[in-house]
Copies of this chain bind each other. A is one copy, B any other.
């Protein structure tokens, strides 16, 4: 069955790979599945046709036969369950990989989203200069705990998994802020993710869209 995902017709990040379709592209490249891409404009994302795919008017979405999914985490989890390459075979190890997926989107990403919001939506507010250091310190608190758990491990729990794919993708959003470089083992962890051939193919594919 053909897999079709949606992505920005023109990503706000200009092709730096931070739009969430890159996470889904990466997962599909890891499991070796081809996919089609339907590009959507910001205007089209708020129209009924796209809202039927994703009620929050966002990308990516995922269609495969009669299945239509939204939420990047759920899409990556579905790919990991359906095709080999992103989940360990052992049931307990698989449950732990899912724990890292949720940790990425519900523990690490919220303070990072807060930083994006502060810069993009409140950048012109009088409080932003004083408030940004507080937001950045909340990110550091989480990264300190994550760095302590990772230690000198290559990945978060044994072999590379969908948990690492999600965590590295979330951490990538921090690179421009400089915060990631304060945690050398996390910076190296993200670099290992970016060095994977599947990531490189995913990155190139989204870049091609945004530089065409």
Contact = CB atoms under 8 A, between A and B. Distances in A.
Interface of A: 51, 55-58, 66-67, 69-75, 77-78, 92, 95-96, 98-103, 105-107, 109-110, 113-114, 117, 121-122, 125-127, 130-131, 134, 138, 142, 145-146, 148-149
B77 A98 contact: yes
A104 to B, nearest CB: 9
Given A117-B114, A127-B127, A142-B56, A69 B99 contact: yes
Binding site of A, secondary structure by majority: helix, strand, loop or mixed? helix
B56 A145 contact: yes
Contacts of A101: 74
A74 B92 contact: no
Contact of A107 (B56, B95, B114): B56
B95 A67 contact: yes
A106 B99 CA distance: 14
B74 A102 contact: yes
